[in-house]
Amino acid sequence: MIIFANEPAKEMTYEEVRKQFMPIVIKVMRTANNRFLYNRVEEDDFQQTMEIELWRAYEHYDPTTGNCFTTYLYPKLQKGVRNATYFKFALKNQGTVVSMNKPMGEDDLNLEYLFSSEDPSMYNIYWSELTAIIYSNISESEAELLNILLDRQTYTVQNYADKYNITRQAANQRVVKLKKKLQVIVATQYLEIA
């Protein structure tokens, strides 16, 4: 049984799922591969890795959770991208070990002396100014949504959806709408971007 966001749930074989979701797999694969200007991952090998993750998503998907299949598939595809491209990053920094407190050069200067220390009191000022701007621009009903943005462990989208008797997708849309509103508020009032 596969749950969709826009259509009724239906039972599907792996071949049907593969046919339905292969465009998403190809898009994620090509987006990841386009990050490499030279020496891209061979597309056939990359696609095979991604299809393994599609199979794993299909095999372990549990429709009783109420989540759409794509919600479960996307992290699996990201894992496939990581597996296919890991070798490009694993060898990047081999052989060079630099410690911040290792003396360097003739005068035994440590790197840690070159970095400025942070003043935590300034962070408190910035944080209190930012939170005051945010709270002055949201309604009481949006405060619950803000809690979801700030602490997803304690305040979940599903709990919000259950409380207001709406779907999880509808609750998620409200969170996204608030996030966009806050981006504009922070840009104009806090960062003062015109």
| Domain assignments of the chain as residue spans, ordered by start | 14-90, 117-190
With a threshold of 0.75, does the pTM exceed it? no
- E strands, the chain, are 103-104, 109-110
Q: Tens digits of per-residue pLDDT, 71-121?
A: 777 788 878 777 777 666 655 555 555 566 666 666 666 666 656 555 565
Give 21's contacts (C-beta < 8 A, 6+ positions apart). 54, 69, 70, 73
The residues near 98 (Cβ < 8 Å, ≥ 6 apart) are 111
**Axis crossing angle, helix 168-185 with helix 120-136, rounded to the nearest 10:** 120
Tens digit of pLDDT at every position of the chain (194 positions):
776 667 777 887 778 878 877 888 888 878 877 777 667 777 777 778 888 888 888 787 777 776 777 777 778 887 877 777 766 665 555 555 556 666 666 666 666 665 655 556 556 667 778 888 888 888 888 888 988 888 888 889 999 999 999 999 999 999 999 999 988 888 887 777 65
Q: In this structure, what DSSP letter does residue 88 have?
A: H
One DSSP character per residue, 102-137 reads SEETTTTEEGGGTSPPP-HHHHHHHHHHHHHHHHHT
